[in-house]
Structure 1
């Protein structure tokens, strides 16, 4: 009888442990390898196609392969998954030689090494009314805030462009995934954008809330597409998205964060 009770206890413990085991998420925030110049900050391009960078990409993708994500999510429009599937099935060598995007160079490269059948798009594009934000500041005569916004943007550009000149690709990637870099990404929204305009002008808070909403919707897609059989996943997004998605993961008991620095060590 005691043996039966002990066996039942062990089974119950095993089931409970399986139910409470958290899924691991490797969250990778990045600068855009093929920078189209559409962001507010004007950042210099990194020579992602150089021999050195290509070797680094091979090493990084091998280390992520060892981590072993079951799914890889990328910043591709969720509604255009069919296009992403077609893109994924194109000639891989040709893509690596001609497409600078981080989706190709890091996510697709890693997924192919893992024999994944596809990448998962989770982006939801929304308008970012930066011009309207600036107009609200000017209308409210917020000269100090305008000056602060200019200083923050110029400082970000300067830091990035200096690192581009001095750093390797892996060093750049590790920097963009530090708490300092993520905090700087989030800081602008509350320090500048949310303060913009007269008291009865909510252009600033609207921009900020829509940015939070967009990332929350993206996170919802990740949650819904992560299946019970998935133990590990990887998310590759622009650093601005990663800063918020990190917060969502931190407060979601289903997941636990895995730092890029521990995977690339």
Structure 2
């Protein structure tokens, strides 16, 4: 081989090796966690009654419950959140800010809502400017409400027995929730609602809804898509309000916990915290 050709060949090989080395040394393209994520699933302390199975809360403004909530808030505050996200419509942020400012300065009592009893309380204690509304609860691209009405699909397809079994399973879980709250503390209730067993049972309830209807009339699956879409929109709102280094505390209805935790873990953006580590019952082991 002529010398010129050998030099050209060696140059091409060297270039190829350098390119391969650079590619091997290139940083990964996947996002790396740059914030912490703590989800605290709660029961609805003000009894709105909007769920299929509702825990009936006694008066959380009673002295006993206020002491218990203060204990929970103190335990969660050990997480040192930099931002607290709550289940309130994004459009209500200005109203939320006004309520927080008044409550934090002692000019307005906290309402029974968990966004205030926990969110406001912890934010004020941590000297945060307020809490952040991240809720979304719309139909999105689904224009026909009948397409997600799984109760009608149950009637159309004779799935009443399946529904009865599913409701019995849900009632058993809800009855245990009620006993936990009636016989224990607010901390006991939150430990239960954030336990792996409760989260798994909740996720399976949504799986069972997805089976209502048929392949040609997939109303249950449509409803689950709507539920997943709502949680994705909520999660996106959380991400948009998160900056690198944040320690994000999300206080929400416990039923959202399975999806919001999974989205946080799957996103690669967050270091997902074990909720029970930050609740009163786990304080002694930290």
Quick one: distance in 2 between partners of 1:130 and 1:20? 39
Residue of structure 2 in register with 1:43 after alignment: 55
Contact 1:74/1:237 (8 A) holds in 2: yes
Is there any run of 5+ residues in structure 2 with no aligned partner, and where? Answer: 1-27, 140-144
Residue of structure 2 in register with 1:206 after alignment: 222
Residue of structure 1 in register with 2:20 after alignment: none
- What pairs up with 1:153-232 in 2 under 5 angstroms? 153-191=170-208, 193-228=209-244, 230-232=245-247
Report deviation, 1:223.
0.9
Contact 1:27/1:234 (8 A) holds in 2: yes
Residue of structure 1 in register with 2:7 after alignment: none
Contact 2:84/2:132 (8 A) holds in 1: yes
CA RMSD across the alignment = 2.3
Quick one: distance in 1 between partners of 2:147 and 2:199? 20
Higher mean alpha-carbon deviation, 182-191 vs 38-47, is at: 38-47
Q: Is residue 2:248 matched to residue 1:233?
A: yes
Q: Is residue 2:76 matched to residue 1:64?
A: yes
Report deviation, 1:115.
1.1
- What pairs up with 1:1-265 in 2 under 5 angstroms? 20=32, 22-92=34-104, 93=106, 95-96=108-109, 99-126=111-138, 132-191=149-208, 193-228=209-244, 230-264=245-279, 265=283
TM-score, length of structure 1 as denominator length: 0.85
SS at match of 1:235: strand
Contact 1:96/1:105 (8 A) holds in 2: no
Quick one: distance in 2 between partners of 1:241 and 1:258? 16
Max radius of gyration: which structure? 2
Report deviation, 1:129.
7.6
> How many pairs were matched up?
245
Contact 2:85/2:134 (8 A) holds in 1: yes
Report deviation, 1:257.
1.5
SS at match of 1:72: strand
Quick one: distance in 2 between partners of 1:62 and 1:84? 22
Report deviation, 1:21.
5.8
Report deviation, 1:152.
2.2
Quick one: distance in 1 between partners of 2:146 and 2:60? 30
Quick one: distance in 2 between partners of 1:108 and 1:188? 31
Contact 2:181/2:188 (8 A) holds in 1: no
